[in-house]
A = this chain, B = another copy of it.
Amino acid sequence: MCRWIAYKGQPVFLEHYITTAEHSLIHQSLHAEQGKTETNGDGFGIGWYGTRSEPGIYREVLPAWNDCNLKSLAAQIQSPLFFAHVRASTGTATSRNNCHPFSYGPWMFMHNGQIGGYEHVRRAMESQLDDYHYGRRLGTTDSELLFLLALQEDLQSCAVKALTKVLIKVRQYMLDKGVADALRFTSCLSDGKRLFGFRYASDKFAPSLFYRRYDNGDVVLVSEPIDRQSECWTEVPQGHSICFTENKVTLRELAF
């Protein structure tokens, strides 16, 4: 499994959550305690919103803990909303274009999970992309493909609806191809203003999703808690989405 963290709140230096703290993502990428995959050494990425509507993206195939550029960038860049992701490949190659987060215009997406039998449904899914989104396919992961399909389903209008539609379709492709493995999808999405989390699986084992909300309104949304104050972390139940806007937290059951 991959690991990731998303932050929304007062502008902070990225390093606070990515490189310096004891429970920063880098520390986690070396010592994955709760995930199935033992090491998250198959590339990483960060994405952040600055003064432009499109996020900045930095992705690299080295293990995050070995990248001195990441250390310097995380020490310089401040942002009110950013993602960081360390990858443990579930089969596809380690290349920058296969690293999360993925972005399109102001949207940014990262994912933890897997389409069961991806090699059997990949083609059917790719053929669903219209020419415009097909031309924006740069890597080979299921994650990027899910993001492109959601963009095509008008993610911009309603992110929850778009992703639900995509998951229903993918589930159908898997059934059509007789894939017995599960579809598991825990993900994070943003348009630079709102922060969304999704937690879904076709079986009972959706990858975990937690958040912590500080008194000042700052929010940290993560694949796993980054400290041991477990009472401070709220688990998003399977089959739900969560949305953080300036003042509100909205938890919704996904409608399948």
Interface residues of A (CB under 8 A from B): 30-31, 38-39, 41-42, 48, 50-52, 54, 56-63, 65-66, 68-69, 72-73, 75-78, 89, 93-97, 119, 122-123, 127, 131, 134-135, 138, 140
Contacts and interface: CB of A to CB of B under 8 A. Distances in A.
A69 B63 contact: no
| Complex copy number for this chain | 4
In terms of DSSP, what is the predominant structure of the interface of chain A?
Answer: mixed
A138 B69 contact: no
B75 A52 contact: yes
A134 B124 CA distance: 11
Given A39-B30, A39-B41, A131-B123, A61 B66 contact: yes
Given A38-B38, A119-B135, 10 more contacts: A39-B41, A54-B75, A56-B73, A58-B73, A61-B62, A66-B89, A69-B96, A93-B97, A93-B138, A122-B135
A50 B76 contact: yes
A14 to B, nearest CB: 11
Contact of A72 (B30, B38, B56, B140): B56
A35 B49 CA distance: 38
A141 to B, nearest CB: 13
Contact of A62 (B50, B51, B94): B94
22 contacts: A30-B38, A31-B38, A39-B41, A42-B66, A48-B76, A50-B76, A51-B78, A52-B76, A54-B75, A56-B72, A56-B77, A57-B69, A61-B62, A61-B66, A63-B63, A76-B77, A77-B77, A93-B138, A119-B135, A123-B131, A123-B134, A127-B127
